[in-house]
Amino acid sequence: MADQTEKLEKFKQAVFNEAAVKADEIIKETKDQCSQWVLEAVNEAEEYVNASKEAADKEHRETVQRAASAESLNSKRNVLLCREAMINKVFENVRRELESFRQTADYENLLIKRVQEIANACPDKKGEVRVAEADMKFADKLTCGGRFTVTAAGNILLGGVMVVFSEDNLALDATFDNEYEKQRSSFAGKVGLAVNTL
């Protein structure tokens, strides 16, 4: 019986040893698997942090770029508005000077001279001289001996004359309004002050 107890003890010891080996293998595999999972989790966390950082950096760059673009546009708009105000002021002064000039004898002489120049350039043609309502007081001096009729034109505000030859479908514009607009556009373009709407 002692032999059997010894055999039983050996069998028990062999089973325990085999179980211990199997348990060590399972523990080692579990530790290896856990280490692998931890490594994967760390890698995923690092990738997530990097991706989040890149996304945050990209969003920050885009926000800064949008703010800089908005400020640049705002600055350009302010410059254009200041330029427009300057042009308006300059040409408001021109307008006042023209209004003052219209009250002088030189203005009357200029109207007569312009009509005479046009009459000389277009001999034997009858036409219509158009002037501002306020300039109708000079009408009798602008007929060039009856060749031209004189009428008030609502679109002539600053002065000058426009001679229309209806038969030839021709209009010669020597109005201050026309010259004023040409000079305004030319001034804005020459000094780089063309104002564009945004």
pLDDT of residue 44: 84
Q: For position 53, what pLDDT does the model report? A: 85
* Residue ranges of domains in the chain: 1-101, 105-190
**Pairing, β 170-175 against β 160-165:** antiparallel
Who contacts 161 (Cβ-Cβ below 8 Å, separation ≥6)? 111, 114, 115, 118, 129, 130, 131, 142, 174, 175
The Cβ of residue 164 has, within 10 Å, a number of other Cβ atoms equal to 19
Mean pLDDT, contiguous 10-residue spans, the chain (198 residues): 76 75 81 83 83 85 86 84 82 87 92 92 90 93 91 92 92 91 80 52
Q: Quick: pLDDT tens for 99-147.
A: 899 999 999 999 999 999 999 998 888 999 999 999 999 999 999 888 8
| Whole-number pLDDT of residue 60 | 85
Q: Which fold has domain 105-190?
A: hypothetical protein PF0899 fold (3.30.2320)
| Confidence (pTM) | 0.58
Return the structure tokens found at 179: 């010259």
The count of residues in the chain is 198
Q: Which H or E run includes 170?
A: strand 170-175
